[in-house]
Structure 1
Amino acid sequence: MRVLHIVTGLASGGAERQLQLLLRHLPGGRRCEVVALTNPGSVAAALRAEGVPVHHLAMGGNRDLGALPRLVRLIRAGRYDLVHTHLYRAGLYGRLAARLAGVRAVVATEHSLHPGVIEGRPVTPGVKGLYLAAERLGSTTVAVSRQVERTLHGWGVPPGRVELIPNGIDADAHTWPAGARAALRRRVRAELGLPPEGWVIGAVGRLVPGKRFDVLLDALAELDDARLVLVGAGSERAVLEQRAERLGVRGRLVLTGERDDVPELLTALDVLAAPSTEETFGLGVLEGLAAGLPVRHSACPALDELPPDAAPGARRIPADAASYTAALRELRAHGGGLLPRPRAVDHYGIGRVAAELSALYDRLAPAAAAARPPRRRPVPERPSPGG
């Protein structure tokens, strides 16, 4: 089966890293390619290194309508059996292009949707209307959590068009023998300029307002000698740096930028903090738990769907500086060490998630092929009289 994944961009964000992980674990028989509408980024390079063909559409912006015929031509040339889109802009252009190219099996994964917010931006009537119009062009929309599923139903997407398949995590990528992990921790700390024995808070995500990393900077100002590592890139970097300067903590803040070695970076931390309240799954929280870290978070739908004892190392707290200061101070006072892998991590294992997605492909592609009208054979010309 030939599958084309269409994604808005391939910078190192949660949806992009999830796509990379899925492509590694999809069962055999799936020949996958990826097209980025814009900004190939570090994930594109990583995918190419793993042997996945990546196309760059070089789209100029949301209203670059010239990208549509280019995408249609690419899909037709590739003779794909199924198209799978990721993120809002790719969902709009990708579903339409797939239909115009004659592909009837079209899946879209909804990675970041709340009733009033999509991918960190407010949902206007126009945005919602375009979303619903594009949704009708697809076969199935995949919700990564029940929260996303409920939002889609609330918007009027029929239940029969929504499939719940959560994000997945590769727990083995966060697991090292004790000696190897200790050596890696020392190396990463040295690379980041962190003291070998200092106490380090970490957070992973795009540097955008919705992640609420300002809360962690305010808490850092109250935690003497602690360090904060923010892993990610985004439009708020300069704002966060300026806030850190005003608070007098710039020297204790490390901004790594976009990285594709998150499991290695997590070994340098003592706690993972996630103050965002706009999460649709909470992959970063699960990655922290897989790395053996205590986690303090403000939203994680993935854990909300499981019993409390599925992740004893995680605790939900309000997204304000006072709450994070108190919670982090308490953790530091009680010391700690590596925590055992919780059941929540195994529940969201990438192998099971990839198998569910593969089964969806198998259901949709043959049905789409059966529904496709047969090609009409050309009628042979009758010989001319006397010919």
Structure 2
Amino acid sequence: MRIGITCYPSHGGSGVVATELGKLLAERGHDIHFITYDMPFRLGKFMQNIRYHGVEANRYAVFKYPPYDLALASRMAQVAKTYELDLLHVHYAVPHAIAAVLAKQMVGEHLKVVTTLHGTDITVLGEDPSLRDVICFGINKSDAVTAVSQSLVKQTYELFCSDRPIDCIYNFVDTRIYYPRDVAHICEKYGAPHEKILLHISNFRPVKRPLDVIEVFYKVQQEIPARLLLVGEGPELPKVIQKVEDLGLTDRVIFLGKQDEVAALISLADLLLLPSEKESFGLVALEAMACGVPTVASNAGGIPEVVEHEVTGFLADPGDTDSMSRFAIRLLRDERLYQSFSEAGLARVREKFCGLKIVEQYEQIYYRLLEK
């Protein structure tokens, strides 16, 4: 098949999953065309069967803002015509689904549109009255719609009352990249041998509750020698830095900023903290499980579909830092329990979230549409 893929090419989960899906599809012989405003950061080196087509929204005096959605639709149509694409698979409802539907109208009904919902396009943007109708339009005009968790499927139906069937296809992890690694060569860089390493990776937005990470770590390090690694950047970062200073944790917390490659850092960690208020899936928890690292997380959104409470990690209500701290301390002190969680996580990844199984689910949808 000849498939166009559009996503946000940034460090967010939707862009990561879209890029990794495209790479796996290319490995399986499909011709993949990424149509985005920038090169997806996970695309990396040249790969056979993959092409990148940039989108440029020019500035004109008549427009207050560059018309990116129109430029994207036009570029989608150009690529679809030139390379005779079979379908467009867009990740994130706005503006990608709308642009794809418009491109289909320009190219013809034979061009199919698959929209994958990733979370904030529904749970945040979908609650904006100025965007609700256009999101609903994009969903209803797509030929197929998927969502990354059952929780997100439910929220989409509740918000939009759409009769469009939505398939739940979970995010996945490439176990050739995420696996338990020998990271002894970098351990000394981040902490002493007797210290436990806690890790948090996010975009540091309020919904991720990064201040809760600091509260949990503060309580943990009072009981266990530990350090905290923080990966990412975002609007809450200045508050996090201030809280670290206020609690006297400056020498215990390491800020690493944005990192393109996090697999080795995850393997270095003993525990992942994910206290989000909203989370449609929790890709970083899945990546941690694939590296044999348990997670202490909130029970928000789709996280319980990834992390099994008391099997592969611990879950608590959002904001309940006391419970999260107790869970973390218990897990880090009990070697037998820790090993059980680690092994259960690895098995869960193999059984439910491996790339091969997930890509086959998408292929089934593609073939179903093209056979109509």
TMscore range, shorter length: 0.7 to 0.9
Provide Cα deviations, 1:127-148, integer angstroms capped at 9, x if missing partner.
Answer: 1111012223310111111111
Whether 2:140 is the aligned partner of 1:136: answer yes
Corresponding residue for 1:350?
A: 355
Distance 1:190 1:271 in 2: 17
SS of structure 1 residue aligned to 2:137:
helix
SS of structure 2 residue aligned to 1:340:
helix
CA contact (8 A) 1:282 1:299 kept: no
Corresponding residue for 2:117?
A: 110
User: TM-score, normalized by length of structure 2?
Assistant: 0.84
Corresponding residue for 2:12?
A: 13
Provide Cα deviations, 1:298-342, integer angstroms capped at 9, x if missing partner.
Answer: 036556458958x71311112333222222233333356652143
Corresponding residue for 1:264?
A: 264
Structure 1 residues 65 and 24: alpha-carbon distance in aligned structure 2, compared to 1, 3 A threshold? closer
CA contact (8 A) 2:282 2:306 kept: no
> Which range moved further: 332-341 or 266-275?
332-341
Corresponding residue for 1:340?
A: 343
Corresponding residue for 1:58?
A: 56
**1:373-384 equivalences in 2 (<5 Å):** none
CA contact (8 A) 2:70 2:99 kept: no
Distance 2:188 2:102 in 1: 49
Which of 86, 94, 101 is equivalent to 1:95? 101
> C-alpha displacement at 1:21, in angstroms?
2.2
Structure 1 residues 207 and 198: alpha-carbon distance in aligned structure 2, compared to 1, 3 A threshold? same
Corresponding residue for 2:289?
A: 289
> Which range moved further: 24-33 or 148-157?
24-33
Corresponding residue for 2:87?
A: 82
Structure 1 residues 334 and 360: alpha-carbon distance in aligned structure 2, compared to 1, 3 A threshold? same
How well do the aligned residues superpose, as a CA RMSD in angstroms?
2.8
Corresponding residue for 1:188?
A: 186
SS of structure 1 residue aligned to 2:198:
strand
> Which range moved further: 265-274 or 224-233?
224-233
Distance 2:188 2:136 in 1: 49
Provide Cα deviations, 1:5-30, integer angstroms capped at 9, x if missing partner.
Answer: 011x2122211221222223336331
Corresponding residue for 2:155?
A: 151
CA contact (8 A) 1:4 1:35 kept: yes
One-letter code aligned to 2:117: E
Distance 1:340 1:34 in 2: 36
SS of structure 2 residue aligned to 1:141:
strand
Distance 2:294 2:306 in 1: 17
Distance 2:100 2:335 in 1: 50
Whether 2:38 is the aligned partner of 1:34: answer no
> Which range moved further: 342-351 or 128-137?
342-351
Q: How many residues matched?
A: 351
Structure 2 gap ranges (5+) = 59-64
Which of 198, 202, 218 is equivalent to 2:199? 202
Which of 177, 187, 190 is equivalent to 1:173? 177
**1:229-268 equivalences in 2 (<5 Å):** 229-268=229-268
Structure 1 residues 261 and 57: alpha-carbon distance in aligned structure 2, compared to 1, 3 A threshold? same
Whether 2:330 is the aligned partner of 1:326: answer no
> C-alpha displacement at 1:163, in angstroms?
1.8
Which of 217, 221, 226 is equivalent to 1:220? 217
Corresponding residue for 2:78?
A: 73
SS of structure 1 residue aligned to 2:343:
coil
Identity of aligned residues (%): 20
One-letter code aligned to 1:125: P
Distance 2:307 2:294 in 1: 17
Structure 1 gap ranges (5+) = 368-387
Structure 1 residues 94 and 295: alpha-carbon distance in aligned structure 2, compared to 1, 3 A threshold? same
One-letter code aligned to 1:112: G
Distance 1:280 1:152 in 2: 11
Structure 1 residues 174 and 256: alpha-carbon distance in aligned structure 2, compared to 1, 3 A threshold? same
